[in-house]
Amino acid sequence: MDSASDAPIKSLRPADREPNIAAGLQQVSATEARLSSVTLKDSSSRDGEDRVPSNGSLPADFYDAGEEIEAEDEEAPPSVAAAPEGSFEGDIAWRDGQGMDGEAPPSPSSSGYAGERGSSGDSSGIVEESDGSGGVSQVDWDKGKQRLHENMQDDASVSWRKRKKHFIILSHSGKPIYSRYGDEHKLAGFAATLQAIISFVENGRDRLKCVRAGKHQVVFLVKGPIYLVCICCTEEPYESLREQLELLYGQMLLILTKSIDRCFEKNPKFDMTPLLGGTEAVFSSLIHSFGWNPATFLHAYTCLPLAYSTRQAAGAILQDVADSGVLFAILMCKHKVISLVGAQKATLHPDDMLLLANFILSSESFRTSESFSPICLPRYNPMAFLYAYVQYLDVDTYLTLLSTNSDAFYHLKDCRIRIESVLVKSNVLNEVQRSIMEGGMHVEDLPVDSSLRSGSASNHLGMGRSEPVLVPQSGSGGPAGLWHFIYRSINLDQYVSSEFSSPLNNFSQHKRLYRAYQRLYASMHDQQTGPHKTQYKRDEDYVLFCWITQDFELYAAFDPLADKAQAIKTCNRVCQWVRDLENEIFLFGGSPFSW
Amino acid sequence: MGCASSFPGKNVGRSGSLNGEQTVANDPKNIRVKLVLLGDSGVGKSCIVLRFVRGQFDPTSKVTVGASFLSQTIALQDSTTVKFEIWDTAGQERYAALAPLYYRGAAVAVVVYDITSPDSFLKAQYWVKELQKHGSPDIVMALVGNKADLHENRKVSAQDAMEYAEKNGMFFIETSAKTADNINQLFEGTGIYLYRNKTQLSWITCNNRPKCRSCICCYEVP
Ligand SMILES: Nc1nc2c(ncn2[C@@H]2O[C@H](COP(=O)(O)OP(=O)(O)OP(=O)(O)O)[C@@H](O)[C@H]2O)c(=O)[nH]1
Ligand SMILES: [Mg+2]
């Protein structure tokens, strides 16, 4: 049974990865040791799971505020400027390695799953031993740490670098729910410790937001009975990581709704993992998209570029079915919107679209046949399921029809048949394929001075590229050293991003640029110092420029040697260019307020 | 292989009256049958359907979300056609509560387990009980032991399954979506079954076994 369908899932986490969770969590395990020495003295409580850390006193050094310790900063130190702070006054820091000199291992609260006992040692580096009573289990910290230490020292440091970012979801009783790397069940001990940390602070009516240790950040998000944790050394701003945790939580709600909270009310030790069976790909694909999909931090969606009339034709037929009782009709091509329509007054939040698209694209079974499935749009209504009819119209293009009615299948199927025939007749699907081939806006095509051009023909995407394009600046991007840009329309909740071109050639370069944009976004939207209107920043990788007005936000990356005045001029031209093309790159009428 | 199932054409001749609620159409020559597959995740429900509908087997698992809808028409020997409208449900636990949505109004319920997994056989029994309690009283149930190609790892004996099926008035067959063994027989079997007069549905209690050879049970339970 399970074994068979689990096969590909298992392949997502081959055994050789598992030691790395331990490595990745090394810093935290020091806290674990420290914290457990606080919380677990209370061994009079027999039940390991229920034990909430007694609100006793922290060890004197726990609050070592301000003492930034750079235990093993072989790499560049983190940008301290962006260091977020929790409710603590200052950063919490600890000396890594302090706990390694054989201090008596305290027994942390453990989930005490019968099935996990002793099974975790080899892979997670945490060895649990049970005394057989099912109550207290003991963690062999020393052994675990030794292994961690080994990992840090030799070959594993390579894979250590590969595992820069962990996401863990656990319940308020410390039961693991999800972990990006490693088997969440084998993390029972570790999850229990995270739980102890969070509860400890929550019990003090405080909220733990973030812990920093050297170049590591641990970001926490508490959602009722569900705790989400990110541990990383990627130097992303706290706000970005927190939003990523929010999306992760949203993805979980999309699958289960918020009514899952009730299960925890009935039974605090409720084990949620079976309810998320078979969804690993959904979460890992979402986490992956944090590195490449700007929608994850812009909170906006993007459209597939299409001639205005083509998008209109698609929109008209979708509107038709929306009027017949369909809540949302969404036609998408991979992550890009072709058209979407909501029933009266119903608006779709860009985050919901992101989560829905991620869910559909990462669940292979939707590609095999038409499907009907309950899903929840957390921003629309986190408590209720909607019923989604999903059908792929070609390899990339899929139609999603959402209804509040669980009996709507045959109606939605009829709607799909109507829509599909209209789309075929009006050639929309072919146009979609053509657009995929041609791509969107290329910085090389940025018009020299669009104010000089009044002819509409040249204002179309893809035009002009039929002739050889004169590329200024010797093949490295567009004019004035422009490499890339993202334009976000505030009113439309949409963004358009230029295609990547030389010298941004590979995924890691794209990811690095997105991380830079993300930092820019976070600093521009900083609640304390912002919001800002413009920012111009030069580092060894790029010149970054950000410009925010009431109507739009522009993020642009230039060659690090670009001239500032030229760059600013170019940004103006980009904005003009986007406005010239807005009928093709944006969807109008997507939300009732956008007219 | 536990048992083969074949149905002679002569049994097909009698036209059956089908419950209009259960099947969409009632044309005696063109029957539409709503069929639902239930069973634990990973037992091979989707593979069975895709083998039947598209003649394919894809060993990479694609966990079903909610339920998939597929249809396939087969011709019986007397040129009667049976169009199956198939709900391939997700076996994942979170969808269990949704099952009535799909089995409501189904004429046939195919309950699948994996012959290498006793747990999946228990889950199958859970579904049978659920259908007996909440399904349409006329629903035709088939018990299917899939992955018969993995017989070296067999953990559920055909004998046990057959006895269970008999006790619960079910049609039993072992299949392999991988080798295509008995896949068509499974669907043909249910098709013929439905096609026959409703009164024949008590076949499992046939008194003339094992020599009868004129009703389905006696063909498919050797
Ligand atoms: N050896 C063998 N493997 C099979 C057979 N049928 C299915 N499988 C394998 O079993 C796994 C699960 O099959 P699915 O058809 O996806 O299972 P399912 O019952 O639809 O699972 P859910 O959609 O989660 O309910 C796949 O990896 C198949 O390769 C079979 O007859 N023989
Ligand atoms: Mg399936």
Q: What does the alpha-carbon distance between residue B65 and residue A371 come to, in Å, rounded to a whole number?
A: 8
CATH class of A301-438: alpha beta
Residue B3 lies in a domain: no
Classify the complex by whether its ipTM is higher than 0.90, answering yes or no. Answer: no
Q: What does the alpha-carbon distance between residue A213 and residue A28 come to, in Å, rounded to a whole number?
A: 8
Residue B193 lies in a domain: yes
Chain A CB within 8 Å of residue B122 CB: no
Best mutation site among B1, B37, B46 for ligand 1 pocket (most ligand atoms within 8 Å of CB)? B46
Residue B191 lies in a domain: yes
Nearest CA in chain B to A280: B63
What was the pLDDT predicted at A71?
29
Structure token digits, residue A211: 């812990």
Query: Mind spelling out the 3-state secondary structure of A336-360?
Result: EEEEEEECCCCCCCHHHHHHHHHHH
3-state class (DSSP) for residue A586: coil
Residue B106 class from Cβ within 10 Å (0-12 exposed, 13-18 middle, 19+ buried)? buried
Nearest CA in chain B to A364: B62
Residue B84 lies in a domain: yes
With beta carbons under 8 A apart, name residues in chain B contacting A8.
Answer: 60-61
Q: Which of residues 413-452 of A touch B (CB under 8 A)?
A: 413
Residue B2 lies in a domain: no
Q: What does the alpha-carbon distance between residue A517 and residue A297 come to, in Å, rounded to a whole number?
A: 9
Q: What is the pLDDT of residues A283-334, one digit of tens each?
A: 999 999 999 999 999 999 999 999 999 999 999 999 999 989 899 999 999 9
Over residues A144-151, the mean pLDDT reads 36
Range of the domain at B159: 30-220
Nearest CA in chain B to A373: B66
Residue B162 lies in a domain: yes
For residue A196, the number of C-alpha atoms closer than 13 Å in the C-beta half-sphere is 32
Q: What does the alpha-carbon distance between residue B173 and residue B158 come to, in Å, rounded to a whole number?
A: 9
- Minimal Cβ distance to A8: which of B44, B60, B119: B60
What was the pLDDT predicted at A404?
95
Best mutation site among B38, B43, B119 for ligand 1 pocket (most ligand atoms within 8 Å of CB)? B43
CA nearest to A270, candidates A258, A260, A255, A278: A260
Q: Domain ranges in chain A?
A: 159-290, 301-438, 479-585
Structure token digits, residue A327: 């809540």
> How long is chain B?
222
What was the pLDDT predicted at A448?
77
Tell me how far CA of residue B165 lies from CA of A448, A572, B140, B193, in angstroms: 77, 75, 12, 15
What was the pLDDT predicted at A531?
67
- Beta strand A328-333 with B26-27 is unpaired
What was the pLDDT predicted at B129?
97
CATH class of A159-290: alpha beta
Please state the pTM of the whole predicted model: 0.76
Ligand 1 nearest atom to the CA of residue B43, by list position: 19
Distance B43 CA to ligand 1 centre (A): 5
Chain A CB within 8 Å of residue B97 CB: no
A479-585: in CATH 3.30.450.60:
yes
B26 confidence band (pLDDT: 50, 70, 90): low
Chain B CB within 8 Å of residue A11 CB: no
A146 confidence band (pLDDT: 50, 70, 90): very low
Same topology, domains A301-438 and A479-585? Answer is yes
Q: What is the pLDDT of residues B138-185, one digit of tens each?
A: 899 999 999 999 999 999 999 999 999 999 989 899 999 999 999 998
CATH number at residue B105: 3.40.50.300
Average per-residue pLDDT for chain A: 72
Residue B204 lies in a domain: yes
Residue B20 lies in a domain: no
Q: What does the alpha-carbon distance between residue A109 and residue B183 come to, in Å, rounded to a whole number?
A: 51
Chain B CB within 8 Å of residue A255 CB: yes
Query: What's the structural domain count of chain B?
Result: 1
Residue A344 has pLDDT above 50, yes or no: yes
